[in-house]
């Protein structure tokens, strides 16, 4: 392995948070192979709890490969929603009149 390589969570090769994609890039392994090995560990009795807790710890301990991309929780939320974390724009509707929905009840109708 090269000494200049650093372990980072992948932003391009990720399913949940990029931990396994980052490990596969660091080791120069196939990402599918790393994910299969992790699933086997996650379903092995006696190791499964350690594998799941280890993944969660790595999700917060391993930095992302893109600077300023936010926390691992923000990336996870983005992955589940299918949007981007920077999509915080509001939609403005023009020429709209408001009507009180309780106005009919006040008139006795």
* Domain residue limits, the chain: 19-107
Per-residue pLDDT tens over the stretch 43-61: 999 888 898 899 888 888 8
- Bigger pLDDT: 89 vs 59: 59
Find all residues with CB under 8 Å of 26, minimum gap 6, and list them. Answer: 1, 5, 6, 7, 8
pTM surpassing 0.85? no
Q: Which residue has the tokens 């650093």?
A: 6
d(CA 62, CA 64): 7
- Across the range 1-17, mean pLDDT stands at 76
pLDDT at 70 over 80: no
DSSP state of 13: S
d(CA 75, CA 93): 30
- Across the range 79-107, mean pLDDT stands at 68
pLDDT at 102 over 50: yes
């Amino acid at each position: 392995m090269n000494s200049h390589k650093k372990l980072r969570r992948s932003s391009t090769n990720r399913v949940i948070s990029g931990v396994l994609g980052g490990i596969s890039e660091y080791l120069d392994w196939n990402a599918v192979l790393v994910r299969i090995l992790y699933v086997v560990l996650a379903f092995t009795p006696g190791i499964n709890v350690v594998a799941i807790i280890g993944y969660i710890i790595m999700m917060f301990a391993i930095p992302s490969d893109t600077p300023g991309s936010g926390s691992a929780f923000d990336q996870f939320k983005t992955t589940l929603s299918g949007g981007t974390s920077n999509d915080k724009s509001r939609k403005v509707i023009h020429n709209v009149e408001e009507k009180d929905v309780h106005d009919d009840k006040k008139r006795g109708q």
